[in-house]
Amino acid sequence: MIKNEGEFLNNFQPSHTLINKLTTIYQLYGETSNFEKYYRKELEKLANVAKIQSTDSSNRIEGIYTSDSRLNKIISDKVESRDRDEREIAGYRDVLSLIHENYRYMSITKNTILSMHNMLFKYAGDSWGGHFKDINNKIIAKYADGHEEVRFNPPDAFLVPELIDGLCKQYNEAFERGEISPLVLSAAFVFDFVSLHPFRDGNGRMSRLLMLLTMYRSGLEVGKYISLEKIIEDSKESYYDVLAASSVGWNENQNDYAPFVNYYLGVVVKAYRDLIERIDLVHNHKELKANKLIPQYSQTTIQRNLKQLRDEKKIQSVGKGKNTKYVLSQNTQND
């Protein structure tokens, strides 16, 4: 449960593993700090890919799908959504763009959270978009084999507005004091938000959007270029496991944040390493496997897009069969 005022994470004792991950993150941050100066075009391309991946993965985690071709058109705002899944995908696209473009001006408050939720569901036509839940709910874990299980019973609906107010206030005060790493605060904030489960629907997606917002406001913008949501989707069972582990005792103020915080920091470490790897691949004109060049798509879509890129002479193939790799053409490299 949310701690009393002024006690947010006061009793949290970081392990050596957690400290090592934080150290690694800030080392990697240092390595990438000049990327925007020297690799602007490469970052723009990565940002476009990350936006597609993030929108796709965060919705897929919740069982919301569309085809690759429809997804691209929805992200580009070139097509009207044709069903509920696509309307919810379009809403996520809009909130993600809002955060990318305006995070510096988005304070961590109850009103910000409600506005984000309203935007998330603005195309879905639900009357409760932008409103806290008015009925009690449960946190359900959905596993790859299709089975579901109740993971946690959140606080009752009537308590939510006050608890969200308290969570935002405690986060902001702790952030201003500067005694705890902003990344650890971000992880704890996201975990408490998920545990409150303040909305009828969209809690998981909102938690991942708030992860990005709090990270960006802390000066760590790797999620613009590498999809954190995709990393979470790829490790979804671990994600549910650490949520369950850190939930034990939450309602009694006796939970252990460490499992979730360690997982969260691991996601950030992977994102920075992926960013460095992809910039290195593109900048140094190294050979790329198809799934590195277009990592978010199915094999069928990859092959179709690779053929188009070859026809446009933007890439060249090297080798045959399973050993086929691709390199950027000289003209593309110089664009």
Catalytic residues: 197
Annotated binding-site residue? 146: no
Annotated binding-site residue? 70: no
Task: Spell out the residues 6+ positions from residue 271 whose beta carbon is closer than 8 angstroms to its own.
Answer: 222, 223, 226, 228, 231
Annotated binding-site residue? 211: no
Query: Could you give the CA distance from residue 94 to residue 208 in angstroms, rounded to a whole number?
Result: 14
Strand, helix or coil at 295? coil
CB 96 within 8 A of CB 51: yes
Annotated binding-site residue? 326: no
Annotated binding-site residue? 77: no
Which of these, 115, 81, 76, 77, lies nearest to 95 by C-alpha position?
A: 115
Annotated binding-site residue? 208: yes
Annotated binding-site residue? 241: no
Q: Residue 269 CB: number of other CB atoms within 10 A?
A: 19
Annotated binding-site residue? 204: yes
Q: What's phi and psi for 327, nearest 5 deg? A: -125, 150
Helix (H) or strand (E) holding 94: helix 84-102
Annotated binding-site residue? 203: yes
Annotated binding-site residue? 284: no
Strand, helix or coil at 139? strand
Residues forming the annotated binding site for ATP?
A: 201-208, 239-240, 253
Residues forming the annotated binding site?
A: 201-208, 239-240, 253
